[in-house]
Structure 1
Amino acid sequence: METEATYRGTVYPWQCDHVGHMNIMWYVGKFDEANWNLFARIGLTPTYLRQSNRGMAAVQQNITYRREMLAGDIVEIKSTLLEIRDKSIRYRHEMRNGETGEVAAVCEITGVHVDREARKSAAFPDTIRKLAQAQLAIAEPA
């Protein structure tokens, strides 16, 4: 499913390490910012999270690095929902160089919807589950 970017930004020189490319902590940070834009699209907005005393917790994150991002590069992330379950969601971020279109990194995350007071997982409301299901990626034929 083609979507608008969930994150746009740039690589600043102070985000680069001694090798001269963006340090891995900044890849994670930019993917994290994309999380919140993706979540808002399915109703997991800051207002919902505050008013319902809910939150999201990442329980698994796998990153594949494919190309360097250098100071001054434009960063664009697009996100795809892969799966929604009763209490968890799985999604994929693809980070590209906004100028060249080359894929720099791919991140797949599993997140859990949590009750912040009880400190345990909680089922998604039907409204959020339905919004997410409508945006799930369509599996391509093998």
Structure 2
Amino acid sequence: MKKIKFLSLVLVALSAILFTSCSKDDDGGGKNDPYKKLYGEWELYQEIKNNTVIDYNNCIPTYTFYEDNTYLFIDKEDTDEGCKSTAEKGTFKASEKSFVLIDDDEHDPVTYDIVKLDDKYMETILRYKSGGFDVELRGKYRKK
């Protein structure tokens, strides 16, 4: 009888250890990151600047967001010689409704409001002043 009680106790202890050790695997290694959808490469296929639509067909800018909270922006300009690329690197901070880009060249931080974010699509709004006027720039992105 003592052996049965002892074996039952050992079995309960082992079960508790196994269930506890598996819990981190179930939630992605214990890292609860609601903005993991932001990570990866995004193509900016359309911008709407104060109700004027700008479609990017040939030279598509991209943003790549990394899990270490760094980003890479590749801007592409359509020229007579083809697409001319320039790169910007920096860090970012994400919250529930926005993300802030802080480039390595020490420009002012830029805040994007997140309108929509899922596994394949993102829409943002950037608001700023230019020449004393309020500007609203809505960006539409698709995940690469």
Q: TM-score, normalized by length of structure 2?
A: 0.29
Q: Which has the larger radius of gyration?
A: 2
Q: Which has the higher helix share?
A: 1
Q: Which has the higher strand share?
A: 2
Relative CO higher for 1 or 2, CA cutoff 8 Å, sep ≥ 6? 1
Q: TM-score, normalized by length of structure 1?
A: 0.29
